Structure 1
Amino acid sequence: MTLPEITTAEQTVLDKALLDALDPLASAMRARATGLPEERMWEADPIGVTLSILTTWKVVDAEVKRLTAIAARTAGSYGASYEQLGAAWGITRQGARKKWPDAIDRSVPAESEPSVIELCGGSAELSREPSSGGWRWVGQGADGTRDEADNTSYYATKEEAAAHAGAFLREHVAEHG
């Protein structure tokens, strides 16, 4: 199984974005651990600083695993197979089943089962409307804003409803001050 590779330019951009995102978290975690102000983090003993960064990467690694499991369950809720999940991750079907055992629930038809999307700190539920056979969504963004497809909007597919719900969730991210 061959995974798509990223270019050197894409790798550089990714590295910068990850390090930019890591820096405030590493500073805050080190400040809590040492009692020193965040702005003095880089003045500390180099071993202590680098171990703080390593600890922070561990936290990020756990979060990436959590988000990966959510993505696998979301794909499974849309009907993706373990073979497809494995191909996307570069592992076998059996490896995907072992990695994400709850990603696919075959007890009910996936396309008619309500599902939840978790994105940008918010969530939305997708459900099939029995009277029309169309799909609707109801969601709450991370900023607390609630919304739903209007009463006359029914989407032909679960994926279309998910796209509209996802757009809503991306627009309503919590403000960090």
Structure 2
Amino acid sequence: MTTVEITPEQQAELAKALLDALDPLAAAAVRSRASGGLPEERMWAAEPVEVTLSVLSAWKLVDAEVKRLTALAAATAGSYGASYEQLGAAWGITRQGARKKWPDAVGRPGPRPGSLELFGGAAELDEAVDGWRWTATGADGAVGEAAAGYPTREEAAAHAGAFLAGHAVPGTRCQSERRSGHTVSV
């Protein structure tokens, strides 16, 4: 597992760059609060409590946005296959801490290529160069296949399911999907 560690020098550079980027936000917050009518070049000379409360309110906005961006980054990493263990290592917390901090960041693994048994027929789903494909045999003996690849497995499965439904024998229903040696009712 790879973690990203930064050196104290890099951390200092990052802190300075962040302060430089956020300074205009703090200045805008100070200008928006009562600064005693001071001109912009003297706004920092306003009442110290007002100045510091203005800066604090600006940092509240920054904090909320950083939390949103952090959750987005965690979810993106999770969508690419990162585990809670990896997210925790990157953030410097445990796997359980990462799961608590970003509960929806890591999805359950989706079904992979496999067999679909519906309406008395069966379909095989496979990922090809041009996308997801299916081949199927309906309960009535009709054989069909995808004319082109679909962008997602779910879309290919839906089209295969529609084919199987169209070639069902009266009285059959949706039964199960087999994947990786397990049968899951659908």
The corresponding residue for 1:71 is 73
- What letter corresponds to residue 90 of structure 2 in structure 1? A
- Distance apart, 1:5 and its partner CA: 4.9
Structure 1 residues 38 and 60: CA distance shift in structure 2, 3 A = farther
Q: Deviations over 1:43-88 (max 9, x none)?
A: 2122221222222222211111110000000001111111111111
Structure 1 residues 32 and 66: CA distance shift in structure 2, 3 A = same
Q: Please, what is the CA RMSD of the aligned residues?
A: 2.8
- What letter corresponds to residue 84 of structure 2 in structure 1? Y
Equivalent-residue separation in structure 2 for 1:108 and 1:19 (angstroms): 42
- Distance apart, 1:4 and its partner CA: 5.7
Equivalent-residue separation in structure 2 for 1:40 and 1:6 (angstroms): 37
Question: Contact 1:74/1:103 (CA < 8 Å) preserved in 2?
Answer: yes
Instruction: Please identify, of 82-91 and 63-72, the stretch whose mean Cα deviation from structure 2 is larger.
Output: 82-91
3-state secondary structure, aligned to 1:91 = coil
3-state secondary structure, aligned to 2:20 = helix
3-state secondary structure, aligned to 2:107 = coil
Structure 1 residues 34 and 85: CA distance shift in structure 2, 3 A = same
5+ residue gaps, structure 1: 111-128, 135-177
1:31 is aligned to 2:39: no
Question: Contact 2:4/2:90 (CA < 8 Å) preserved in 1?
Answer: no
- What letter corresponds to residue 67 of structure 1 in structure 2? L
Structure 1 residues 40 and 108: CA distance shift in structure 2, 3 A = farther
1:12 is aligned to 2:17: no
The corresponding residue for 1:87 is 89
TM, length-normalised to structure 1? 0.54
Question: Contact 1:42/1:49 (CA < 8 Å) preserved in 2?
Answer: yes
The corresponding residue for 2:49 is 47
Equivalent-residue separation in structure 2 for 1:107 and 1:9 (angstroms): 39
The corresponding residue for 1:117 is none
Question: Contact 2:33/2:50 (CA < 8 Å) preserved in 1?
Answer: no
5+ residue gaps, structure 2: 113-126, 133-186
- What letter corresponds to residue 96 of structure 2 in structure 1? Q
**Higher strand proportion:** 2
Q: How many residues align?
A: 114
Q: Where in structure 2 are the equivalents of 1:70-149 lying within 5 Å?
A: 70-106=72-108, 108=110, 132-133=130-131
The corresponding residue for 1:157 is none
- Selected match of 1:60 from 56, 59, 62: 62
Larger CA Rg, structure 1 vs 2: 2
TM, length-normalised to structure 2? 0.52
- Distance apart, 1:130 and its partner CA: 7.3
Question: Contact 1:28/1:38 (CA < 8 Å) preserved in 2?
Answer: no
Identity, in percent, stands at 68
Question: Contact 2:79/2:105 (CA < 8 Å) preserved in 1?
Answer: yes
